[in-house]
Structure formats: structure tokens, C-alpha cells
Amino acid sequence: MPLPTTDTNAAPKQAPAVRFDGVGVSYFFEGGSYAAIEGVNLSVAAGEFLSIVGPTGCGKTTLLNLTAGLIAPSEGRVEILGAPLADLNASAGYLFQADALFPWKTVLENVAIGLDVAGIAPNEARAKARGWLARVGLGAFADRYPHMLSGGQKKRVALAQVLIRDPEILLMDEPFGPLDAQTRQIMGNLLLNLWHAEKKAVLFVTHDLEEAIALSDRVVVMSAGPNARIIGDWNISLPRPRDTMDVKLAPAFHEIHREIWVRLKEEVEKTYAQTEAAA
Amino acid sequence: MSRAKILALQILVAAIVLLVWHICSTYQFFGRYLLDPFFFSTPVDVAARVFKWFYERTIWWHLAVTLTEALLAFAIGSLAGVGIGFWFARKPVIAAVFDPYVKMINALPRVVLAPIFTLWLGLGIWSKVALGVTLVFFIVFFNVYQGVKEVSPAVLANGRMLGMSERQLLRHVYWPSALSWMFSSLHTSVGFAVVGAVVGEYLGAAAGLGYLIQQAEGVFDVAGVFAGMFVLGVFVVLIDALVSLVERRLLVWQPVAAETGH
């Protein structure tokens, strides 16, 4: 089922940051197989902020892992900046859902490590890391260890850790999921500010439709798994720059929210029905 | 409870035990001792013996020997444990092949190895070091193995995505994780290094605390046995305090376990 995507009318000279072409991922086990996702066609333009929403277990994270090169597709192909992806995606930064900071390194070392392993001089790496810590509002926390930080502060460090490497593509897997509502709003605005300054292509996975609309240029909805597919693709034409709190008051926000929610609701209910049938 | 109060109570416990011991072993009740001083000695005799050892400076040599043995056992056992633990964890085939042998040797009571080490390495310090090594090695080995195996998959994936090569992953992810597990068992492994040294000395040696205790026991010198045990006990407490100090420095990045004494 071909779906209209924004890049069809975008300038053709630039290759999309990410392109999925008939991608499927199946897991094989003794006596059968399980198709997590299938027939996914998706294209994300350079500098585009795309959110992926869908019911639990629909393979949203699988899409990110494919883009990162952490897993390979069973069928179809994944292209990054016009070239097929064979190994780990060196032009992607990944903000994981779980806490993935190095607990034995200080905040400063955690942020600098991406430059350290790339062979940048330690002094330069630390100077840049301090700059990034200031940008995410943690300038005074350089010498702390991750366990001394709150959940929101850890996410800020993780964001700086990823962005310091200046990736073309930013993958975010429910990054603000465990945070409280107020912190989520603040982190959303921080993310938008950084994104305006750097203009990465962003693939943002979330189960929170409001968050997805408030942040994104485009929202895609995935169907309930197994055999999860993309079943909807909406452009979000709310004006930028946005404030994630204020934008939710706009009538246009409610309109698009209603429109997407109708589609998403069916899938969420499907997932519940499956779970109850299995129980 | 405040630290001073706890310390006061700790001293009180020692005082009560010593007092009961003293009364029961020095005064007769109904014509007999409750604790026969021939078998239990008296606190005064034991204290006099300890004082004599330190006053005549004979104890220092034995302490130095035991400490050297324990340190060597700890160093060699830890190095081997870290090296082999790391190697096994990174090479599952090797781990699978050696698994039954590792379990077999670990199940062996180390005391039965002592005569063999004495035969192989003589009565000097090395047979005691060897005994300590067999104890320390397995503690460190299992911890390092576990530490490498249980690296958080998210942290590992994060390292990969941040551009770490296999070598850099070893240095920045596997290695710190393994060491943190090893450090968390530092008290146990240092304690076992001392146990190995003392047991080895007890079973046949020419110097050391274990030798001192064994010699006293050989002539029914109970005061000597208790004095040796007392010196050993204080020695272990001091070493343990030192380990705590080192631990606090090495594991600054770990959350502190819940404070006691609320």
C-alpha cells in the first residue's frame, strides 16, 4: 500500500536521510517464525523531524534498530543518505530508551567519550563536552557521576553525548518515557531548540501522540504487531518555532490530533483484544 | 545511632566478654573453675603474652611473613582471576570446555592441597602463597566473568553507536564493568588471602602467625594460642579497614548502599 510521503514533493537533488524500501524483519525460532514488521516503506528527509507512534510491541524500536544498523532487515533494504546500510550506521546517533550512560565515567567523560574514541585530542574533546553540557543546562554537573543525577538530567547528558558527535540522523526511542509530565515538556523544548540549531533528521519513537504532534514535522502510525506496517502518514504543519506546551492549545493541534487518534485507536484496541485473547 | 554510641557499645561487648572470662578462669566457685585456666587461659595471661611479643619485637617478623604471603597470594590470584575470567567471558567455547574442571577444582577443600604445595614448593612462603592463590583466584575469576557477561546491553549498544571499536569497547565498557565486580568482592578476596597464608603456615612452616599458633598448640600453651588468635584478629580488622578505604576511592562512581543507623 503506497502512502504519500513528503519527500515526493521535496527537492529531488538531496537523497533522503533514511529510506526503507519494502523492509521486513522476521525472527526465526524452532517450528516457526515471527514477523515483527513487514513491507515498511518510509523515507525521512534530511533535517526532518519524524515521529513514529503505534501500540505497544508494534516494532517501533525495530525501525530504529534497523536505521542504526544494530539489526539487519530480513527483506527489503535500508538506505542511509542514498547508500545502502551494511554495517553500523556511523552517521546516526541513538538515544536509547534505557539508561545507557557509562556509570563509571563522570558526566564530562560520558559526553567526551564519543570524541575520544574518534581520536580527537583529549583537551579539545573536553572543551567541546563542556560546551555541550552548558547547552543542555548541566554546566555545573561535569564532575558528577550518572547515579547522582535525576532521570531528566541523565537524559540531558545522553542527548549531549549523542549530539557532540554531530550525527546526521538522530534516533530517539521513547527518550522521555520515564520522565514526569513537566520534565517531558521541558525536555521537548530543549530538544526542539537543539534541533533548530543543528537540523538533524530525527526519528522519534513515542507512544504519546500529543508529544509526537507537538514535536514533529511528520507523524507516522504503525499497525499492531505482528506483521506491523505503516498505516498512516500525516504532515504536521503547525508553525515553528513551537513551544511544546503552547502548541497543544492551538485549534489546529486538536484537529490533527483527532484525525490521527481515530486511526491509532483502532490499532491500540486491536492490541488489547490480542492480549486478552491470549490471556 | 551515632558512631560514638556504637563504638561505646562495641567496647562494652568486649569488656563484658573479657570480664566473664576473667572471673570464670581466675576465681573458683565451689572449689572449681568454671573455665579451667589450663584449657582457657586467662585474659591477663593472654594480654601479657601479646605485650611480651610486641615488647621483645618477636611478633613483627611473623606478622611480616604472613602479610607478605597474603599480599602475594592476593596479587597473583587477582591477576590470574582477572586475566582468565576476562578470557573465558569473551570466548564462550573455552568457558564451556573448561567449565567442569573449574567447578571440580573449586569444589576441592583447599586444605587437602596444602601438603602437595609443601612438597612442590617447600616450607617457605611460596607454598602458603600458592594456597592463598587457589582461594583468591576463584573469587576474582567468578566475579570478573560475571562482570563481563552482565554488561548492560544498552550500555554496550550505546558504546557501539558512539563509534567504539571492539578494542575500545573492551577498554571503556567490559573492563570497568569487570573491575567493578572484582572490587565489590575485595573484602572477601583479601580475607581469603589471609586465610590461605595462615592455614598454610599452620600446616607446616618456619614463621608466620599460623606457625606461632601451631607451635603454642603443640606444647599446650593455650595463652599462646589465644594471643596468636587475638593478633590475627586485629591484623584482619586493620586490613579490612584499609580495603574499605581503597574501595571508597575506586568505586566513587557507584551509588552508596543505604546508610546504617537511621
CA distance B110 to B174: 31
CATH class label, B41-250:
mainly alpha
Q: Rounded mean pLDDT of A87-112?
A: 92
- HEC-encoded secondary structure of A47-103: CCEEEEECCCCCCHHHHHHHHHCCCCCCEEEEEECCEECCCCCCCEEEECCCCCCCC
Cell numbers 563484658 correspond to what residue?
B16
Contact B161 A118 (CB under 8 A): no
Which of A96, A146, A162 comes nearest B157 by C-beta? Answer: A96
Positive or negative, the CA dihedral B11, B12, B13, B16 is: positive
Tell me the residue type at A248.
Answer: K
CATH 3.40.50.300 fits A6-91+169-174+198-278, yes or no: yes
The alpha-carbon gap from A145 to the nearest alpha carbon of chain B, in Å, equals 6
Distance from C-alpha of A122 to C-alpha of A116, rounded to nearest angstrom: 6
What are the residue boundaries of the structural domains of chain B, listed by start? 1-40, 41-250
Interface with A, mutate which of B167, B171, B249, B253 (most A CBs under 10 A):
B253
Distance, first Cα to last Cα, chain B? 6
Test B158 with A100 for CB contact under 8 angstroms.
yes
A38's grid cell:
513487514
The Cα of A54 is separated from the nearest Cα of chain B by a number of Å equal to 22
Q: What is the pLDDT of residue A157?
A: 94
CB contact under 8 A, A68 and B173: no
- Sheet containing strand A201-205, edge to edge, reads A92-95, A169-173, A201-205, A49-53, A218-222, A230-235
Residue from A104, A155, A162 whose CB has the most chain B CBs within 10 Å, to mutate: A104
What is the pLDDT tens value at each position of chain B, 262 positions in all? Answer: 789 999 999 999 999 999 999 999 988 888 888 888 888 999 999 999 999 999 998 899 999 999 999 999 999 999 999 999 999 998 889 999 999 999 998 888 888 888 899 899 988 899 999 999 999 999 999 999 998 988 889 999 999 999 999 999 999 999 888 888 888 888 889 999 999 999 999 988 889 999 999 999 999 999 999 999 999 999 989 998 998 888 888 888 887 654 444 4
B-chain residues near A119 (CB < 8 A): none
Say if residue A4 is preceded by a cis peptide, omega within 30 of 0: no
What residues does each domain of chain A span? 6-91+169-174+198-278, 96-166
- B31-68 core/surface letters (b: 16 or more CB in 10 A; e: else): eebebeeeebbbbebbeebbeebeeeeebeebbebbbb
Beta-carbon contacts of residue A248 (< 8 Å; ≥ 6 apart): A210, A214
Using left for φ > 0, alpha for ψ between -120 and 50, and beta otherwise, residue A57 falls in left
In B120-179, the residues whose Cβ lies within 8 Å of chain A are 152, 154-155, 157-165, 168, 172-173, 176-177
pTM: 0.80
Q: Cβ A104–B176 below 8 Å, yes or no? A: yes
